[in-house]
Structure 1
């Protein structure tokens, strides 16, 4: 008996012990949990990603309408103020003195008018008496000339008295204007961004007191390449997203008729409900916009999340009766959060939009609602949003 024949039973026993620990070659694997969406034909417009920022439609450097010494500053930076709220108060002592002087001048002018009117009455009577003697021997041309001169002088005195009254009344109005506007108020409700005055400081007419922005009248401003601006109709809806991921629905309010020489862009103003930004809302905040630059047209559209980039181009996994079926696709322009599909898919196909990064051809699928556990892209995985954040992928 040879050594091999003696060891053969031992090898057989060891094989029987190890065999149960080896998984069967065709053991069924667990279906991959995925989220799918249906490919459908939509009226889509080509979009251009553009950066915008939140701007205030009302941003005012509130100025003083009168000159004077600042007596009180009633606000601090960051204060929220209502329309008509006091921002600062100027010293009114000099204006009060000027008002009292004007009132005294008015009284004096009125008294002067009364005296001038009396003198004018006497001058008219004297002229009438001399005029009544014209056809008699008592008439004197010299006396008549003197009477006319006195009448002209009395008329002049009355006119001067009336002019002094007008001047005094104007001085009164000026003093009251200064007093009424010594309290500088907010022209609209908003937030104080800066304060430019301090107590004791002399303020000239037009000097700024505080800067206020109206946080209830905020808009988005974006710089759009000038070659696309004519294709954007006012009022069209634009999708926007903040850096924190908040979604916005905006409307183009106006395309301003100015163009930057250096960038060849035109400013576009967009309005809409910005409440979705919540506590992060701030002037200057960055918003990414998908601006339509073509007329809407019917096209098959696939979500960006369905696209997986490989060495041969773009691929989409289709849920074919619970089995992962890869489909090479040729895509066109970006349209918001979707790409136009030129070939490779048909209307009604169920494409995988979550959990597709780890799928293998022929793998069993289980469609779930929401993001599947373990099916999210790996950190650093390339997706259409990562690789084509500013332009549509190149068609294959």
Structure 2
């Protein structure tokens, strides 16, 4: 029995010796990994939006009266605010106004006569020389003339408004896009004459994938630049394009600095998203895509410190570039990241870091 125990003790000692020697060899020959530096990045994520210049509306000039069209500017004409665009003949409408004024004079005379007669009969009524029914008829007559006068005045006001709008002036500077009526044509009320495109009233329409669009209170986390200048987001579309699943963002483009942009012109706008709220130890960096590994549902990066020991850091991907990721994490610009040799690494393990450029 004693011999058996001695043999087992000897074997156990040998195994311990082998493990110790293996550890020494491993310590003496650390793992070789290839590394790259993390690069600095602005504390924001920038995306390019593809946009077009449009107008918020086109202005329709229409007829206010049944009158012949005498003149109209041709398609393509550029007009200034207040300039005459089209004109209708005034003969028939002016005669209607004269007739209404004559009717008004007549009803004024009739109303005066009825009032005088009512006043006279009311005096006779005191002495009971006039019946109550006669007095009532005169009161009705006075009220009828008064209401008729009111109706004629309203009719005169309406026709005067139509008369004043036989000449159609441009409400703003613009260009005539379409002419819907010809000189010599007798127009009806409400019939279209020309469609006017505003020159200085512009808007920008930019497309953005639905998942990247600003939402609600997060609007303050975004700003937009055109040729390096900030532009203000006016509104966000409430419909999604069926084919592209893009939303439309609307910007005002009425500033003089955008005067050279033409309706229908394509251009690009930079949408800059401020980084999500970070702790004091976090920053935004640009790292090689080979340094980021997906483990379960999270992304991780192996770093190498000044003592050549590795550590595993969880990161949040903010954006993707051609061969880089923009990440938010505790990694700082200049930190060494393992891009080749991740397999089998353990936290605090010693490694030999070799620059990718020199490998």
Please say if residues 247 and 276 of structure 1, whose CA atoms lie closer than 8 Å, have aligned partners that are also in contact.
Answer: no
Tell me the equivalent position of 1:102: 100
Kept in 2: contact 1:77–1:192 (CA 8 A)? yes
Q: CA contact under 8 A between 1:70 and 1:90: conserved in structure 2? A: yes
Work out whether residues 224 and 267 of structure 1, in 8 Å CA contact, stay in contact via their aligned partners in 2. Answer: yes
Find the counterpart in structure 2 of residue 35 from structure 1: none
Q: 1:250-269 counterparts in 2 under 5 A?
A: 250-269=231-250
**For the structure 1 residues 56 and 93, does the alpha-carbon distance in structure 2 shift closer, same or farther, using more than 3 Å as the test?**
same
Give yes or no for contact 1:109–1:168 (8 Å, CA) kept in 2: no
CA distance in 1, matches of 2:238, 2:220: 13
Is 1:70 the counterpart of 2:55 in the alignment? no
1:289 Cα deviation after fit: 3.1
Equivalent residue pairs, number: 260
1:291 alignment counterpart: 271
Q: Deviation above 6 Å: which 4+ runs of structure 1?
A: 273-278
Quickly say closer, same or farther: Cα 1:235–1:112, change in 2 above 3 A. Answer: farther
The equivalent residue for 2:304 is: none
Q: In structure 1, what is the Cα distance between the partners aligned to 2:74 and 2:120?
A: 66
CA RMSD of aligned residues (A): 3.5
1:118 and 2:91 matched: no
SS of 1:46 mapped into structure 2 = strand
Which of 138, 151, 155 in structure 2 is aligned with 1:171? Answer: 155
Who is 1:50 aligned against? 49
Note if contact 2:66-2:189 (Cα within 8 Å) is conserved in structure 1: yes
Instruction: Give runs of aligned pairs for residues 1-396 of structure 1, distance below 5 A.
Output: 41-73=40-72, 75-130=73-128, 147-231=131-215, 233=219, 236-240=222-226, 249-271=230-252, 281-292=261-272, 295=275, 298-300=283-285, 333=319, 340=326, 346=334
Unaligned residue ranges in structure 1 (runs of 5+): 1-38, 131-142, 241-245, 303-330, 348-360, 363-396
* Unpaired stretches in structure 2, ≥5 consecutive residues: 1-37, 288-316, 336-356
In the alignment, is the contact (CA less than 8 A) between 2:231 and 2:251 conserved in 1? yes
How high is the TM-score relative to the length of structure 1?
0.56
Whole-Å separation in 1 of the counterparts to 2:220 and 2:234: 6
1:116, distance to aligned residue in structure 2 (A):
0.4
Q: After TM superposition, give the deviation of residue 200 of structure 1 in Å.
A: 1.1
What's the TM-score, normalizing by structure 2? 0.62
